Structure 1
Amino acid sequence: MKSFQLRIRPDIKKGLGILLMLTITWHLFIGLKSRITLAGLFMAKPEPGYLWNDSKTTERRFFAENLETAWEAGTPHSEFNAQTTASQGIWEPLPGYKFIDQSKDLSTVWTPGLLHPDFQAWSDTGEGLWIPATGYKFVYEGDEFVATVWDPNKRYEELKIISLPEQDSFIPFPGYQFVSPGKTFEVVWTPGLVNPDNTRLVSGAKEGSWEVSSRRSYGRAPNWLEKEIVRGVIYRVF
């Protein structure tokens, strides 16, 4: 039996050799060229943090196209919860995340209590969840919030404060005073404060209690009957 032997014409063999050399050379070029990685046969894409200079995208490109790249701030990483900063080669975690050990890689962990860099909001306990900062509310487009705005005249029962019409301004509930005004929301019950909703009452010694003010009104002190009437009103209200 005669053996079968494939014969390739010399010109085809030469062409295949040139194609092979071209393929090896181009892939070596891409492998050595910084800021570009291989993405398939004769295909390339920018390294993380870089975009094609002419289109500001990261899609795969054929080897004959423009392969110039540029570092672009705010570009998310394809693998980690991180994005580029304005400084070339420097990364920052996405809002709500912290780096675990940046000396090793860009791995992150979701961390509650971080202020959003663009909105008045804090990271919540569930990953990807946010709560508005005190005095603010979310503006939504669909299911996603796109902004935070000041929310005046809102009562915060746990903090015992009320937001004022002026942005970032608060007043305590009647009977309370700020411990460190302008620094924290901490309040303390303070006896002797006039109730702004009823100036005939002052805060009592016990938190939440009110007493008839002993201050003179219209040139005289309230008589016993007026005091009893006010006390009756207090008991019905509180």
Structure 2
Amino acid sequence: MGKVTPLKLAVLVSGGGSNLQAIIDACKASDYPAEIVLVFSNQLDAGGLDRGRTAGIRTEAISHKGYAGGREAYDTAVSALIEETGADLVVLAGYLRLVSTSFVQRWQGRLINIHPSLLPSFKGLHVHQAALDAGVKFTGCTVHYVVPEVDSGPIIAQAVVPVLPGDDAGTLAQRILKQEHRIYPQVIRWIAEGRVSTNDAGIVTIADATAPDFAQINPVPEPN
């Protein structure tokens, strides 16, 4: 069997890019079926751009502030840039900007995001404090397909994180972030291997998933 052509990824970031780094690290493995062809940011000084440059990946940034034509024109420019790279999958990794409906429609089924809660609970911003305020005993993170409605697309994978006594929004965020770094590269692998399908009801199925795969979705408790 010949070598499988890697899935080409465009990763969009707004900040430090720790999830981007997790994907970069995963791509270093010889058996990983994806490669990053573009790191893009709407923030000219985003730390994720430095991570991309260090890894030798093409990096681009366009500030959205005061962009002529507004959100639609901005997203059209971003989409054109992604298309230029030949990317197969657009990966939102801490991209702190709502994308337009036209952008979502252009990349429908090829646009994923990671959100730091167990969707559909705690959509939007400030989710860690919201989880604490609600008194939930477990929270986590969700990888999902992006649809026009915010944080509402088909759920691909989730990792569960306990809320511990004494947690604040910061400590809870860090514990969830560790799981984000685990499941995002895993989901990209599943998609690259053609194992992810969605039915008419928006329910995602992962074909031929093994026990190690599902340990990533519902990880065992971390040791003390």
Give TM class, smaller chain.
under 0.3
Higher radius of gyration, 1 or 2: 1
Higher relative contact order, structure no. (Cα contacts within 8 Å, ≥ 6 residues apart): 2
Normalising by structure 1, what TM-score? Answer: 0.19
The structure carrying a bigger strand percent of its residues is 1
The structure carrying a bigger helix percent of its residues is 2
Normalising by structure 2, what TM-score? Answer: 0.20
